[in-house]
Amino acid sequence: MTEKEKAQQGLLYDNNNDPQLVNERLEAKELCYDYNQLRPSMISEREAIMRKLLAKTGEKFWIEQPFYCDLGYNIEIGENFYCNHNAVMLDAAKITFGSNVFIAPNCGFYTAGHPLDAEQRNQGLEIALPITVGDNVWIGGGVSVLPGVTIGDNTVIGAGSVVTKDIPAGVIAAGNPCRVIRAITEADKNKYPRGKIGHSPIE
């Protein structure tokens, strides 16, 4: 069994010394470098790099620069995906985003974990557990999502949260560690004032 196959099965694997994984990370980081050096207005070039880097994209997506990942081929994004500046995705295992996911700046999605035993850790061994984010999820600024976490549909994660365990659908959750605060209700549709489209909001 290769080190890559071990990683895919959630087993301890040698991430630091395996030539295949080292080369694959280098290829992905070269693409990230190219992406981050492009002018913001170079829309088609940016889109082409992301379609090459990521395993799956929707027709419509937008990822602000800079963006960083380990492998790229373990990241899938749904339709109408938006990711703000300075995202870090350590995708040793799969990271899957549904449709209509909004990610604020400075967020990290970390599938990689290290042994608690120092001897194993110093050998370069790691474990990788997948992250799954459902449809219609908003993740606030500075959120960290840790290995093995699933976030349900229609959920909001508050800024600065550290998500260590699964979060159900349809809730607001926040904190370190991230916890459910309350369900999202019909009343939340009227939380913010709205003007008519094409008219002044004070009319």
Q: What is the DSSP string of 85-134?
A: SSEEEE-SS-EEE-SS-EE-SS-EEE-EE--SSHHHHHTTEEEE--EEE-
* Per-residue pLDDT at 125: 93
Coil, strand, or helix at residue 166?
coil
Active-site residue identified among 114, 141, 154, 179: 114
Domains, the chain, ordered by start: 3-186 (2.160.10.10)
Residue with tokens 């295949």: 20
More confident residue, 123 or 48: 48
* Per-residue pLDDT at 190: 85
Q: What is the pLDDT of residues 73-128, one digit of tens each?
A: 999 999 999 999 999 999 999 999 999 999 999 999 999 999 999 999 999 899 99
More confident residue, 201 or 170: 170
Q: What is the pLDDT of residues 142-193, one digit of tens each?
A: 999 999 999 999 999 999 999 999 999 999 999 999 999 999 999 898 888 8
Spatial separation of the C-alpha atoms in residues 150 and 137, rounded to whole Å: 11
Kindly tell me if the per-residue pLDDT of 137 is higher than 50. yes
Spatial separation of the C-alpha atoms in residues 126 and 117, rounded to whole Å: 11
Nearest 5°: phi and psi at 137? -100, 135
Coil, strand, or helix at residue 187?
helix
Kindly tell me if the per-residue pLDDT of 13 is higher than 50. yes
114 in catalytic set: yes
More confident residue, 194 or 188: 188
DSSP label at residue 155? -
More confident residue, 43 or 187: 43
User: Across the chain, which distance is largest between two alpha carbons, in Å?
Assistant: 68
Coil, strand, or helix at residue 56?
strand
* Per-residue pLDDT at 200: 44
More confident residue, 203 or 83: 83
C-alpha 12, offset from chain centre: 22
Strands 179-183 and 171-174: antiparallel
Kindly tell me if the per-residue pLDDT of 42 is higher than 90. yes
* Per-residue pLDDT at 81: 98
* Per-residue pLDDT at 192: 82
Predicted structure pTM score: 0.92
